[in-house]
Amino acid sequence: MRIDVVSIFPDYLAPLDLSLIGKARRDGLLDIRVHDLRVFTHDRHRTVDDTPYGGGAGMVMKPEPWGEALDALATQGDPRPVLIVPGPGGEPLTQRTARELADREWLVFACGRYEGIDERVYEHAADRMDVRVVSLGDYVLNGGEVAALAIIEAVARLLPGVIGNAASLDEESHEDGLLEYPVYTKPAQWQGRAVPDVLLSGDHGAIARWRREQQLHRTARRRPDLLHASAAADPDDLALVP
Ligand SMILES: Nc1cc(-c2ccc3ccn(Cc4ccc(CN5CCCC5)cc4)c3c2)n[nH]1
């Protein structure tokens, strides 16, 4: 997979050189290229923002640098990338979205700052990219870089070979529509607290049932919205939840 990230703060993306994603880049599984938007400005002050038409607080990112940056990345006839624009008003990032994006061969991230990017940039890009505005959640960040890091991590870890133990991907939270069960490791006793006996029993059927119950209890307590939406919670499962 190829990933391009355009930002006025390219150093914000430095964490992509670390850990499993950094290794995947070095192994050639991921081709991540970070671009400084100011390279696509031509005035002395390398201006990327201006005051909003219609008034209002803050500044808006000018369309010209973005137009040049995106045109430099994807010309007609190239494979069609997804242009992911993080934004508080976007579709929520879910595991389903991450799985969809993991199936694409080329992602381009436009990391905005200020009060966002001139709307005409999205329209211009739609000629040669599939444009998706994506939100991390219902809170406001200062820019798109943190969101891009989160989306890249959520997508890249689904790619074959990026994280060692692919089996753990199957049992992930949200993979089956429920929250994850609690996990434990040695020592068996810690601060006077024991590990649930069932986990020491070696009875794999009982362990699987206990974990499922824990998932349902946690989901009912913390995310009841997921229970009703989840196809995973069939009626006799729901009977386990008080
Ligand atoms: N999940 C999530 C993602 C973000 C996010 C992502 C990219 C950018 C780029 C700039 N900002 C700051 C920002 C943007 C829009 C407003 C809302 N204003 C109201 C009137 C005009 C605009 C405020 C502040 C971002 C924020 N935040 N949260």
> 198: domain CATH number?
1.10.1270.20
Report the pLDDT value the prediction gives residue 212, as an integer from 0 to 100: 97
Tell me: do 186 and 150 sit in the same domain.
no
pLDDT in tens, 147-188: 999 999 999 999 999 998 776 676 667 778 999 999 999 999
Whether 134 and 183 map to the same domain: the answer is no
Position 116 in a domain: yes
Same domain, 160 and 181: no
In a domain, 93, yes or no: yes
**CATH code, domain with 27:** 3.40.1280.10
Q: Give the pLDDT mean for 36-63.
A: 98
Reduced 3-state DSSP string for the chain: CEEEEEECCHHHHHHHHCHHHHHHHHCCCCEEEEEEHHHHCCCCCCCCEECCCCCCCCCEECHHHHHHHHHHHCCCCCCCCEEEEEEEEEEECCHHHHHHHHCCCEEEEECCCCCCECHHHHHHHCCCCEEEEEECCCCCCCCCHHHHHHHHHHHHCCCCCCCCCCHHHHCCCCCCCCCCCCCCCCCCEECCEECCHHHHCCCHHHHHHHHHHHHHHHHHHHCHHHHHHCCCCCHHHHCCCC
Let me know whether 97 and 155 are in one domain: yes
| Residue 171 belongs to a domain | no
ipTM of the complex: 0.98
Residues lining ligand 1, judged by CB closer than 6 Å?
A: 86-88, 112-116, 135-137, 139-144, 147
| Substitution site in 142, 146, 149, 151 for ligand 1 pocket (most atoms within 8 Å of beta carbon) | 142
Task: Give me ligand 1 centre to Cα 96, in Å.
Answer: 23
Taking the CA of residue 147 as reference, the ligand 1 atom at the shortest distance is 3
Say if residue 158 is in the same domain as residue 185.
no
The minimum-distance atom of ligand 1 relative to the CA of 136 is 1
Instruction: Judge if 132 and 15 occupy the same domain.
Output: yes
118 and 161 part of one domain: yes
Cα of 69 vs centre of ligand 1, distance in Å, is 21
Residue ranges making up the domain that contains 57: 2-166
